């Protein structure tokens, strides 16, 4: 299936992609080069903290607001995304928070809200006139002091304030009003919550083109050509999204740009996974260092803080370790953490190297990788069958996590991760922190192009992006389909298929499907005859306990993978024939004889006759198969084979 022309337009589409997480958000727009790029807000932050803080007459949004958690925590609102669209009674009250607590809205029943103390500007003095000013003074009347008041903000109001600031940043970058936005939603969001988010966005002044699930946003980015020019378009992808306090795993099957979820797993508000958990470990480490160095007791990460000084020190450390983590991700050396006046006026500077850090974070790493194993087990997919791991979220930039997942999960050595592709650093397309926002921007541009098209047919397609649509339902194949070129040779090891098997249409390919492959067919010496069989096969994994002899098989499917060094257990991908769908033979007309027998040919005299063939396999939506094998070149032989629908 060929894709539509690239989304790059001469005029930049005025759309924005918003990754709206519970802790951090990011925005992406199209740059002049026609690429979706994650952009920074006014503070120069690409990862914008989801926080709104009130201090006096001022309102802070984003990372500035997060800094307010130290001194002004009661007036700082964080973690509001997950409460969006929820009733007050649905929200668990047990969690102790350092930020502004969630309260019942005084006016609206069962509505969560935040109460913040702000300073309201005093009413301006009465305009002076000749009548009410007896003695004219040259100095203006000083304004009265602002009045301290309480402000009640519902969750959706906070969301509107925050989204507005995001949109403003995007608008300032593009220099024109934003037409529409695509916003990520976690898979656990209910329809009520989605409605609430859409409403908040429209109040913030933008039309929501689509609420995109995080896995879909990832697929939107990873199916572009810029993501991986070298990877096959048919692959199985594991998405590991580690948030500040959540973990989302999705196993996607990508088939030429079409993605569907094989299995997914999500953990929300879990203190054992996520970036906050790693932060806590690191903070505890540094607090112990501090106590050791200064003999000042400092206890952090307790359910109830021992004192306000401790709570404040913890908040300071929490802000400081952000930098430490970034340094650890970026460079292999040690990273420092410095806090001025951590407790009792004592400064603190400590350092941690990568090894120590990985040791500290190991429990979290292990918890993530065990979740991955469970997911794969649930989906009945062997780790070696996963072709690619995609990381999402700033925490996944940690190289230690990648190493741990790859080793512990039993993935094949050649697995593609952003680390092996070298796209993690540099803020490029593979940057885990920007993947979601980019995907949203790409999707927004796609919808924008459909909206701007004049034909009704195209407009009709927009329905597919609604939440309740049947258009995304599709039939997928359940078995891999391929061509077998028999050679009659017996093989002792591996799959004894009796020939060379070329997989054409992998399982889980959406119907109707069309694939073409090109290959060289060896012809029999006398008659230039060749034949092929169309087979349905099932893929399996064979585990061998002994190290197999080093035999190089020509079969492309036979990659040998070692799981771990200690074990001599090896895994093979195996293919077993299931159903013969048909067979055909023909005589090649454009055969070429290779000059001189190659070493592997193992035959005296002249080389072998080969001909280049192109096979196109089409499977209709009903399941009928049509195979056309054609010799590449003029006047080549053409063989057709068709199988009717089941």
Partner 1 sequence: MATIQTRAIPKSYSLPQASGAKIASPSTSRLLPTGPAFVSHLRLTKHHGHSFDAHDDFVEKERQRWEELQASAINGEDDLGVGDEPETDDLLSLDPKEWKKHDYYAVLGLSHLRYKATPEQIKIAHRKKVLKHHPDKKVTTTSTPQSTSSLLQGLNLNTNDDAFFKCIQKAHEVLTNPEKRRQYDSVDHELVEQQEDTPTAASFKSKKTDFFKAFGPVYEREARFSRKQPVPMLGDVDASKEHVEGFYDFWYNFDSWRSFEWLDKEVNEGSDNRDDKRYTEKKNKSERARRKKEDTARLRQIVDLTLSLDPRIKRIKQEEKEAREAKKAAKSAPASGTVTPKKTKEQEEEEKRKKEEEEKVAKAEAKKAKAAAANAAKKARRAARAAEEAGGVNGSA
CA distance 517 to 468: 37
CA distance 86 to 109: 12
Based on CB atoms, which residue is closest to partner 1, 464 or 568?
464
Name the segment binding partner 1 (CB under 8 A); options: 132-140, 171-179, 291-299, 479-487: 479-487
Place of tokens 């519902």: 154
- Residue 53's nearest CA partner among 41, 63, 39 is 63
Q: Which of 150, 307, 336, 478 binds partner 1 (CB under 8 A)?
A: 478
Q: What are phi and psi of 367, to 5 degrees?
A: -65, -40
To partner 1, the closest distance from the beta carbon of 485 in angstroms equals 4
To partner 1, the closest distance from the beta carbon of 637 in angstroms equals 15
Q: Does 461 bind partner 1 (CB under 8 A)?
A: yes
* Interacting positions 533-552 with partner 1 (CB under 8 A): 533, 536
To partner 1, the closest distance from the beta carbon of 208 in angstroms equals 14
To partner 1, the closest distance from the beta carbon of 35 in angstroms equals 15
On the 0-12 / 13-18 / 19+ scale of CB atoms within 10 A, 142 is exposed
Q: Which of 99, 210, 266, 329 binds partner 1 (CB under 8 A)?
A: 210
To partner 1, the closest distance from the beta carbon of 426 in angstroms equals 24
SS3 at position 629: strand
Q: Does 469 bind partner 1 (CB under 8 A)?
A: yes
To partner 1, the closest distance from the beta carbon of 531 in angstroms equals 5
Q: Does 590 bind partner 1 (CB under 8 A)?
A: no
Q: Which of 36, 38, 625, 639 binds partner 1 (CB under 8 A)?
A: 625
To partner 1, the closest distance from the beta carbon of 452 in angstroms equals 11
CA distance 303 to 271: 12
Per residue, the 3-state secondary structure of 500-549, as one string, reads EEEEEECCCCECCEEEEEEEEEEECCCCCEEEEEEEEEEEEEEEECCCCC
Q: Taking each helix axis from N to C terminus, what angle separates 191-204 and 155-174, rounded to the nearest 10 degrees?
A: 50
Q: Tell me how many degrees the CA angle 37-47-348 measures, rounded to the nearest 5.
A: 140
CA distance 70 to 65: 10
Q: Which of 147, 471, 568, 606 binds partner 1 (CB under 8 A)?
A: 471
SS3 at position 110: coil
Based on CB atoms, which residue is closest to partner 1, 278 or 436?
436
SS3 at position 581: strand
* Interacting positions 552-571 with partner 1 (CB under 8 A): 554, 556
Q: Does 319 bind partner 1 (CB under 8 A)?
A: no
* Interacting positions 503-532 with partner 1 (CB under 8 A): 508, 510-512, 514, 517-526, 529-531
Based on CB atoms, which residue is closest to partner 1, 72 or 220?
220
* Interacting positions 596-615 with partner 1 (CB under 8 A): 608-610
Q: Which of 332, 488, 549, 596 binds partner 1 (CB under 8 A)?
A: 488
* Interacting positions 117-176 with partner 1 (CB under 8 A): none
Based on CB atoms, which residue is closest to partner 1, 378 or 529?
529
State whether the Cα torsion 451-455-461-463 is positive or negative: positive
Based on CB atoms, which residue is closest to partner 1, 493 or 585?
585
By the 8 A CB rule, do 475 and 510 touch? Answer: yes
Q: Does 460 bind partner 1 (CB under 8 A)?
A: yes
CA distance 334 to 269: 30
Based on CB atoms, which residue is closest to partner 1, 192 or 594?
594
Q: Which of 101, 414, 582, 633 binds partner 1 (CB under 8 A)?
A: 582
CA distance 270 to 252: 24
Which residues, at least 6 apart from 582, have a Cβ–Cβ distance to it below 8 Å? Answer: 533, 534, 625, 627, 641, 642, 643
* Interacting positions 48-87 with partner 1 (CB under 8 A): none
* Interacting positions 387-446 with partner 1 (CB under 8 A): 439, 442-443, 446
* Interacting positions 224-283 with partner 1 (CB under 8 A): 224, 252, 256-261
CA distance 479 to 505: 9
């Amino acid at each position: 299936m060929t894709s539509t022309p690239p989304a790059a337009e001469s005029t930049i589409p005025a759309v924005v992609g918003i990754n709206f997480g519970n802790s951090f958000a990011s925005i992406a727009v199209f740059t002049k080069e026609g690429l979706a790029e994650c952009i920074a807000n006014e503070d120069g932050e690409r990862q914008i903290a989801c926080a709104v803080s009130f201090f006096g007459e001022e309102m802070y949004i984003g990372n500035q607001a997060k800094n307010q958690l130290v001194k002004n925590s009661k007036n700082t609102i964080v973690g509001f995304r997950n409460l969006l669209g929820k009733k007050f009674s649905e929200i668990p009250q047990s969690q102790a928070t350092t930020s502004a607590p969630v309260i019942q809205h005084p006016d609206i029943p069962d509505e969560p809200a935040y109460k913040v103390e702000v300073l309201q500007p005093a009413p301006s003095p009465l305009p002076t006139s000749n009548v009410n000013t007896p003695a004219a003074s040259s100095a203006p009347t000083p304004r009265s002091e602002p009045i301290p008041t309480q402000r009640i903000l519902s969750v959706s109001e906070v969301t509107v304030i925050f989204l507005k600031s995001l949109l403003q940043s995007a608008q300032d970058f593009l220099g024109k009003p934003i037409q529409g936005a695509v916003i990520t939603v976690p898979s656990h969001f209910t329809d009520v919550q989605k409605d609430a988010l859409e409403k908040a966005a429209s109040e913030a002044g933008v039309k929501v083109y689509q609420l995109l699930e995080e896995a879909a946003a990832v697929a939107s980015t990873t199916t572009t050509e810029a993501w991986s020019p070298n990877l096959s378009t048919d692959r199985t992808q594991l998405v590991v999204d580690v948030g500040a306090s959540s973990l989302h795993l999705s196993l996607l099957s990508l088939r030429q740009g079409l993605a569907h979820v094989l299995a997914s797993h999500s953990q929300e508000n879990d203190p054992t996974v996520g970036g906050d958990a790693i932060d806590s470990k690191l903070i505890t480490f540094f607090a112990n260092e501090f106590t050791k160095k200064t003999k000042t007791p400092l206890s952090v990460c307790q359910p109830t803080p021992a004192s306000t000084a401790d709570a404040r020190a913890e908040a300071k450390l929490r802000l400081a370790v952000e930098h430490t983590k970034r340094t650890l991700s970026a460079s292999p050396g040690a990273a420092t953490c410095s806090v001025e006046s951590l407790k009792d006026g004592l400064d603190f500077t400590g350092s941690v190297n990568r090894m120590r850090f990985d040791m500290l974070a190991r429990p979290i790493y292990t918890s993530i990788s065990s979740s991955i194993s469970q997911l794969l087990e649930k989906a009945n997919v062997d780790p070696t069958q996963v072709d690619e791991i995609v990381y999402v979220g700033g925490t996944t930039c940690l190289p230690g996590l990648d190493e741990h997942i790859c080793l512990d999960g039993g993935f094949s050595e050649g697995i593609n991760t952003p680390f092996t592709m070298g796209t993690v650093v540099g803020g490029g397309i593979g940057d885990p922190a920007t993947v979601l926002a980019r995907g949203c921007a790409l999707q927004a541009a796609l919808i924008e192009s459909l909206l701007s098209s004049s034909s009704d047919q195209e407009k009709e397609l927009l329905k597919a992006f609604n939440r309740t649509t049947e258009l995304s339902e599709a039939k997928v194949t359940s078995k891999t389909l391929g061509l077998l070129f028999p050679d009659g040779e017996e093989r002792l090891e591996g799959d004894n298929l009796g020939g060379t098997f070329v997989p054409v249409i992998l399982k889980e390919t959406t119907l109707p499907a069309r694939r073409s492959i090109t290959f060289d067919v060896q012809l029999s010496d006398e008659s230039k005859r060749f034949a092929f069989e169309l087979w349905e096969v099932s893929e399996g994994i064979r585990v061998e306990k002994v190290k197999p002899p080093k035999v190089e098989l020509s079969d492309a499917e036979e990659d040998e993978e070692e799981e771990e060094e200690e074990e001599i257990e090896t895994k093979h991908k195996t293919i077993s024939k299931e159903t013969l769908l048909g067979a055909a033979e023909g005589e090649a007309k454009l055969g070429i004889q290779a000059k001189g027998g190659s070493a592997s040919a193992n035959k005296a005299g002249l080389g072998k006759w080969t001909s280049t063939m192109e096979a196109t396999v089409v499977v209709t939506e009903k399941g009928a198969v049509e195979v056309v094998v054609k010799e590449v070149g003029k006047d080549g032989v053409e063989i057709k084979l068709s199988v009717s629908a089941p």
